[in-house]
Amino acid sequence: MKGPSVAARYDVIVLGAGAAGMMCAIRAGQRGRSVLVLDHAGAPGEKIRISGGGRCNFTNVNAGPKNFLSANPHFAKSALARFTPQDFIALVERHGIAWHEKTLGQLFCDDSAKDIIRMLTDEMRAAGAQLRLRTEIGDIEQTSGSYRIGTSEGVFETSSLVVATGGKSIPKMGATGFAYRIAEQFGLPVVETRPGLVPLTLDPQLLQRLAPLSGIAAPAEIRHGKTAFREALLFTHRGLSGPAILQISSYWREGEDITVVIEPDVDIFALLKKAKQVSGRQSAQTALAEILPKRLAQHLVESEGISGNMADQSDRHLQRLAAAVQSWAVKPSGSEGYRTAEVTLGGIDTACLDSRTMQAKTIPGLFFIGECVDVTGWLGGYNFQWAWASGHVAGEAA
Ligand code: FDA
């Protein structure tokens, strides 16, 4: 690490030019603080760019504390109440960015996620916040009331250091887990981290049996304990994916079962019984294919060993077939891990942070925001809302 003998001084230094870091820099700059944002990447907001299939699901109008996982479910309340989805929508509209609601309160850009990045960098510029990219961050030292940050571009000093370097997901995009190391350096506890919003894998034998289903999607409810999500299920060549699986993956732990209910709004048993009455000469496979994708219907009928016409089927047979569709208990062998996980669960223990400011309770001037904190949202724009809200409240205080 190189650097001048005299460190450049800023009121606020933000590590990480992602969603949370840029939001924090904007608010601190608007308050008249001198702000520097440092990032090792070549461009700001890389995860914003790839989010929501390139259209960025930038918030969810229904976002509330119930949509987040944390060892302390109350922690997120303060920030979420002080910077709401409506506040972010107002910002998006001020910048003339067209958006639409897709489903379940999820808001997306009409054109491109790049509009959101441009909006944030324009706001940072207007607030006087400086951005330095391609900057490797080295040692951080705390000296009386100040932090000295050694970087590949020199030494910087600040009284408010905001850590916004995200989690461990998608290491190929520069995710490093750096925030956890800083927490460790300052003796702050970290709740065990694990991949969240991630496809689940199946053991090789089951995978082989399900191989013909790869690529099939169906409406489903996926249950784990008292938690259930109703969205699409997707069979893949590695296991199970689709929004319903990503959602439940954040609650699932290795060794546990999940229950898959395909077409949860349909009473499959009743439907099969009716088919038996009105079209007894139909095969079970054809009857089921009226509701399910053909390949899925074929697989289920074959794996339940059911043959013959509907008229030949006893109620017990039909019940077994209905159960195969609507109460399939499956034990995933694992997850695809950080390689494809959208988020990192766990992180900086909220017990050591002030929920109003995101400042470490015992270390004045040190803040943690965004994904590195032990607050993780559901799929559907909640994680960005947490990044905006936690960034905003830290920017008010730093
Ligand atoms: P984020 O990861 O955005 O930013 C961290 C920054 O710190 C990066 O710029 C990184 O380069 C930098 N950094 C890391 N380590 C560093 C180091 N050692 N030195 C210097 N800089 C360092 N959420 C949502 O609400 N809606 C959506 O549509 C999506 N879609 C989506 C798709 C995909 C593929 C992924 C992987 C994730 C999503 N998400 C999402 C989740 C969302 O992207 C995520 O929750 C936020 O980006 C978190 O914002 P942060 O600012 O905390 O971290």
Mutate to test the pocket of ligand 1, among 37, 137, 165 (most ligand atoms within 8 A of CB): 165
| Closest CA relative to residue 396, chosen from 30, 9, 124, 22 | 30
* Per-residue model confidence as pLDDT tens digits over 66-75: 999 999 999 9
Percent of residues, the chain, with pLDDT higher than 70: 99
- Domains (ranges, CATH) in the chain? 8-195+345-397 (3.50.50.60), 200-335 (2.40.30.10)
The reply to whether ligand 1 has any atom less than 6 angstroms from the CB of 137 is yes
What is the whole-number distance in angstroms between the Cα of residue 341 and the centre of ligand 1? 11
Rounded CA-CA distance 388/135 in Å is 23
Mutating to test ligand 1, I would choose from 51, 114, 392 the residue with most ligand atoms within 8 A of its C-beta, which is: 51
- Whether pLDDT at 253 is above 80: yes
E strand or H helix at 283: none
> What six digits make up the tokens of 38?
């440092």
- State which amino acid sits at residue 314: S
User: In a 3-state reduction of DSSP, which class is residue 96?
Assistant: coil
Q: Measured in angstroms, how far is the CA atom of residue 7 from the centroid of ligand 1?
A: 29
Residue 206's pLDDT is 95
DSSP state letter for 18: S
Q: Which atom of ligand 1 is nearest to the CA of 108?
A: 28
Give the tokens for residue 193: 């981290």
Residue 3 has pLDDT above 60, yes or no: no
Distances (CA, A) of 226 to 252, 261, 345: 11, 14, 19
Best residue for ligand 1 mutational test, from 24, 49, 100, 342 (most atoms within 8 Å of Cβ): 342
Residue whose CB lies within 8 A of the most ligand 1 atoms, among 47, 376, 379, for a mutation test? 47
| CB distance 52 to ligand 1 below 6 Å | yes
Taking all residues of the chain, what is their mean pLDDT, rounded to a whole number?
A: 96
Q: To which H or E segment does residue 37 belong?
A: strand 35-38
How far apart are the CA of 245 and the centre of ligand 1, in A? 21
**Structure confidence by residue, pLDDT tens digits, 118-141:** 999 999 999 999 999 999 999 999
Confirm or reject: Cβ of 16 under 6 Å from ligand 1: yes
Atom of ligand 1 nearest to the CA of 19: 51
Mean pLDDT to the nearest integer, 297-315: 94
> What is the distance in A from the centroid of ligand 1 to the CA of 315?
52
What's the rounded Cα separation, in Å, for the pair 5 and 26?
A: 29
Atom of ligand 1 nearest to the CA of 384: 25
> Closest Cα to atom 4, ligand 1: which residue?
18
Strand 366-368 with 154-163, pairing: parallel
Pocket test of ligand 1: the residue of 382, 383, 388 to mutate, having most ligand atoms within 8 Å of its CB, is: 383
Q: How confident is the model at residue 7 (pLDDT cuts 50, 70, 90)?
A: confident
| Residue 153's pLDDT band (cuts 50, 70, 90) | very high
What's the rounded Cα separation, in Å, for the pair 100 and 266?
A: 30
Task: In whole angstroms, give the CA distance from residue 367 to residue 354.
Answer: 9
- Residues 174-232: pLDDT tens digits? 888 999 999 999 999 999 999 999 999 999 999 999 999 999 999 999 999 999 999 99
* Average pLDDT for 110-121: 98
DSSP track, 327-341: -EEE---EE-GGGT-
The pLDDT score that the predictor gives to residue 156 is 97
Number of Cβ within 10 Å of residue 348's Cβ equals: 25
Measured in angstroms, how far is the CA atom of residue 170 from the centroid of ligand 1?
9
How far is ligand 1, taken at its centre, from the CA of residue 106, in Å? Answer: 18
Indicate whether residue 371 lines ligand 1 (CB < 6 A). Answer: yes
Residue 40 in contact with ligand 1 by CB distance below 6 A: yes
- Tell me what pLDDT residue 334 has: 98
In whole angstroms, give the CA distance from residue 379 to residue 74.
19
Q: Which of helix, strand or coil describes residue 347?
A: strand
Confidence of residue 5 (pLDDT cuts 50, 70, 90): low
Q: Is the pLDDT of residue 1 over 70?
A: no
Q: Is the Cβ atom of 19 under 6 angstroms away from ligand 1?
A: yes
| Residue 381 in contact with ligand 1 by CB distance below 6 A | yes
| Number of CB atoms found within 10 A of residue 194's CB | 19
Question: What value does the mean pLDDT take over residues 274-293?
Answer: 95
